[in-house]
Structure 1
Amino acid sequence: MTATPPPGPALPPDTVTAPGTVTTPGTVHVVGAGLAGLAAAVALADAGRPVRLYDAAPRAGGRCRSFDDSALGARIDNGNHLMMAANTAVADFLDRVGAPDGLYKAPHARFDFLDLASGTRWSVHPNRGALAWWLLVPGRRVAGAGLWAHLRAAGLLLAGARDRVVDRVPAQGALYDRFILPLTEAVMNCGPDRASARLLRRVMVETFARGGDACRPWIAREGLSEALVDPALAHLDRHGVSLETGARLSAVERRDGRASALVFGRDRGRVALDAGDAVVLALPPDQTGKLLDLDVPQGAVPIVNVHFRLDVPLAPPGEPRLLGLVGGTAHWLFLRDRLASVTVSNATDLAQRPNDEIAQTCWADVSRALDRPAEPMPPVRVIIEKRATFLQTPENVARRPHSRTELANLALAGDWTDTGLPATIEGAIRSGFTAAEALSPAAPADTGTAPAQAIRAA
């Protein structure tokens, strides 16, 4: 239905900037080394632009990173993420950095669910082609929901800019409780009573409406850093780009409609920009808004992730497993070797509780799902990402800025910018590619939005 995202900017070695004037494109300063910033840096480096990459943190990855946890004796992700075969920007990114096998790509589109309250298990199993005959087979669709209920969900196709999900899909019945609600919270990180119906429509059009081949789950084999971040840093290193850490941006100086200098903290100070230099800001919305005096989406929603280390592996090496949970506190259960990792999206209330209470509550769900004793609880790590995504209401979606800004040499990247997608890994990477292309002197005024969508379960 849509085209594959462009491979990034193709910049000529010499660029005409004014009649009779030829300059060589200068350095692009990419501030922020999350996946949006990394994608922008990779695309720019591939196009032959000199790049400097900065981040305030001691490591790259932002909200998508892995680390060694001494309490668990294991390497874990700060959050769990599910991508899908429809995510062409993710696929392009992996190909660029030479890591196409970093994600486990399931051979079939099958999503297993468990209703913790009733004990009912079922699978949503779309067929491969776009003709959705799987809806006619009870064993392939949501348990307890008939064909008519599934067809009524097509009301999302009529979603307007101001519609919430509940304005287009009836907020009752098995389909809502067992599919629409968990899908909305996973993708949008807020409930159907607040989430933008138009963004969820984009997800459905780019995944389930295209058939099972577009819905095959993609999950990091080892961790997010190993799958996405480390290969990108290695690729950039081969292009002579290294990450400059501890660089917190405090101001962007401007002159004549352009960014003229970046002001960092005391250790790094002021970085003057030459005439051909450019900037990609891949920072959170609140920080970007303050730096540029820009209207940005307001509010953030937390996600809670809980990692348990089991005594035996429950997934084959390199082949993680996923189980959707309804009727409890936990939303998604990821199994990777001996790790059982839980994700709870839209977790504003849960995130206020003490960590030990969060762990006990989630273990009650996990032990039931895995048919394991409730006591003793295994070693655990609770991670609360307080500002996991911006609040994706219709009003906030309308505040998302485009990549291009009023400064001719500065572009924005981030999953919160106007990608046309919810705040996901696919959206973050696509935003980085769009920002890189926006800085191409030959770029059109409107670079468009990303054509595919990831379901984010974290």
Structure 2
Amino acid sequence: MSAFPRSPARHGAGAVSRIHVVGAGLAGLACATALAATGRPVTLYEAATQAGGRCRSYGDARLGCRIDNGNHLILGANPDTFRYLDRTGGRDGLCPVAPAAIPFHDLADGSTWTVRPGAGPLPLWLLDPARRVAGVAALPHLAPLRLALAGADATVASMLPLDTPLGRRLWRPLAVSILNTEPEAASARLLWSVLSQTLLKGEAACRPHIAREGLSEALVDPALAFLSGAGAELRLPARLRALEVGNGAVTTLRFDGGQRVDLSPGERVVLAVPAWQAADLLPGLRVPTEHRAILNAHFRLPAPVAPAPAALPGGLPLLGLVGGTAEWLFQRGDVLSVTVSAADRLTGEDSDTLAVRLWSDIARALCLPDACPPAHRIVKEKRATFAATPDVVADRPGPRTDLGNLLLAGDWTDTGLPATIEGAVLSGHRAAEILLRDQIGNSAAATRRPSASRTL
């Protein structure tokens, strides 16, 4: 077996050991860039031929354009994501919806409304009927406060009234999209972790930020450029197949093709791979084993469209749909994209059949012909996120492992958040911070340790 070529090691009093980050999704990118920003030598490995994991863009030959593999929102209340973007220079790749506004369309009766939170944490905005859900009084909008009292086993459905007009038009759509799990089974505490930092914090915390060109242009490409400029190594495709362990630490990383990396005593590893891969690499590791699917559909509108694609109802590039199969609609140029969360029920259906069903919802919402959907691409991600149920949430591990030089990162680890961009980035930052603290602590201990020649 052969070893990957190694960069020259640093020697002397200022030597800093290399850190190996396995997985170039957002967790791995966040970890690697945070470490590289401090001057630490970093090698980033990725099994695929491109970085970004479940949050990236690619050219689609069928549509003849570039699309995202999924639709993702970043909110104003995502501090770790913005730390990451500011570090890499990717913030300009996002377009904020300011002031915050979330438009909805009810496919059952054609009604529309836009939720517009107020400037501060006091919910005075609920006194204005134009800012809240159509046909619902102000007081029921305060129902999420009940989630603060939720026990560890409580579900969203047991804490929020979902069989009411407000439940149907707001709480259920938000819960499903945030947790990617049906509310009857989803953790109430996990929903509270998001709502308490967004709707209950005011307008700035709720602002959606949408990629101007694509997810890769905002979240991935700037990070790769940053790492290159910092002297970090990127190896792809490089699929980690096994970890060799000895004396309570990882000693060797073994990759496809017989490639290996033998670790020096001071080197560290961050495993930022999906939960099921981490479990394969670390037998006995407790991880979430139940997942939920997400379905995304991209439709390319014919051009020209009198004279260009019209703005969505509400005048914004996103629209929540209630009462159909499609749940969220996004527009970028002449591409309309649909997201359906907790979509396990749909993954077995034929893609063309799904396209007809989803296009029917779009056509009703936008008053377009629904006889035949335009060119489309259906993307089914069967293990998009862990199932956000109380039992599964309890299986999320922390960042440390039983191996002294190995840490975990990923939105499936115990971040206190659902499987979101913010959760992934937070996990990567947390792993980097632990490594840096440990390194500082080890350096301080070394300076206090008496030399071998000293007489005690």
- In the superposition, the TM-score normalised over structure 1's length comes to 0.89
Instruction: Indicate the residue corresponding to 2:237 in structure 1.
Output: 246
Distance 1:315 1:375 in 2: 19
Distance 2:49 2:83 in 1: 27
- Residues 152-167 of structure 1 aligned to structure 2 (within 5 Å): 152-167=143-158
Distance 2:439 2:363 in 1: 53
Instruction: Indicate the residue corresponding to 1:273 in structure 2.
Output: 263
Secondary structure of the equivalent of 1:81? Answer: coil
Give yes or no for contact 1:93–1:429 (8 Å, CA) kept in 2.
yes
- Residues 316-355 of structure 1 aligned to structure 2 (within 5 Å): 321-355=317-351
Secondary structure of the equivalent of 1:64? Answer: coil
Equivalent residue for 2:186, pick from 172, 184, 195: 195
Distance 1:91 1:315 in 2: 31
* Residue-by-residue CA offset, 1:2-43 (whole Å, 9 max, x unaligned): xxxxxxxxxxx999xxxxxx7833111110000000001100
- Residues 171-186 of structure 1 aligned to structure 2 (within 5 Å): 171-186=162-177
Distance 2:127 2:247 in 1: 62
Q: AA paired with 1:63? A: R
Distance 1:112 1:85 in 2: 17
Equivalent residue for 2:274, pick from 267, 280, 284: 284
Distance 2:14 2:415 in 1: 31
Secondary structure of the equivalent of 1:399? Answer: coil
Instruction: Indicate the residue corresponding to 1:433 in structure 2.
Output: 429
Instruction: Indicate the residue corresponding to 1:7 in structure 2.
Output: none
Give yes or no for contact 2:292–2:343 (8 Å, CA) kept in 1.
yes
Distance 1:228 1:61 in 2: 8
Instruction: Indicate the residue corresponding to 1:132 in structure 2.
Output: 123
- Residues 199-214 of structure 1 aligned to structure 2 (within 5 Å): 199-214=190-205
Give yes or no for contact 1:79–1:305 (8 Å, CA) kept in 2.
yes
Instruction: Give the Å deviation of 1:315.
Output: 6.4
Instruction: Give the Å deviation of 1:172.
Output: 1.2
Distance 1:253 1:24 in 2: 25
* Residue-by-residue CA offset, 1:52-105 (whole Å, 9 max, x unaligned): 111110100100010111111111001000111111111111110012211101
Secondary structure of the equivalent of 2:232? Answer: coil
Distance 2:329 2:309 in 1: 12
Instruction: Indicate the residue corresponding to 2:221 in structure 1.
Output: 230
Distance 2:437 2:81 in 1: 25
**Structure 2: where are the runs of 5+ without partners?**
1-9, 442-456
Identical counterparts, % of pairs = 51
Instruction: Give the Å deviation of 1:224.
Output: 0.4
Equivalent residue for 1:68, pick from 49, 59, 62: 59
Instruction: Give the Å deviation of 1:444.
Output: 10
* Residue-by-residue CA offset, 1:294-342 (whole Å, 9 max, x unaligned): 01011111111000011334368xx970000010000000011111000
Distance 2:254 2:14 in 1: 25
Distance 1:33 1:101 in 2: 21
* Residue-by-residue CA offset, 1:176-218 (whole Å, 9 max, x unaligned): 1111111111110011111111110011111111101111110
Distance 2:319 2:192 in 1: 23
Instruction: Indicate the residue corresponding to 1:411 in structure 2.
Output: 407
Instruction: Indicate the residue corresponding to 2:309 in structure 1.
Output: 314
Aligned: 1:373 with 2:364:
no
Q: AA paired with 2:253? A: L
Distance 2:20 2:366 in 1: 48
Secondary structure of the equivalent of 2:382? Answer: strand
Superposition RMSD in Å: 1.9
Aligned: 1:295 with 2:286:
yes
Change in Cα spacing, 1:265 to 1:183, as seen in structure 2 (3 Å) is same
Secondary structure of the equivalent of 1:439? Answer: helix
Q: AA paired with 2:331? A: L
* Residue-by-residue CA offset, 1:362-389 (whole Å, 9 max, x unaligned): 0000111111111232111111111110
Q: AA paired with 1:325? A: L
Secondary structure of the equivalent of 1:352? Answer: coil
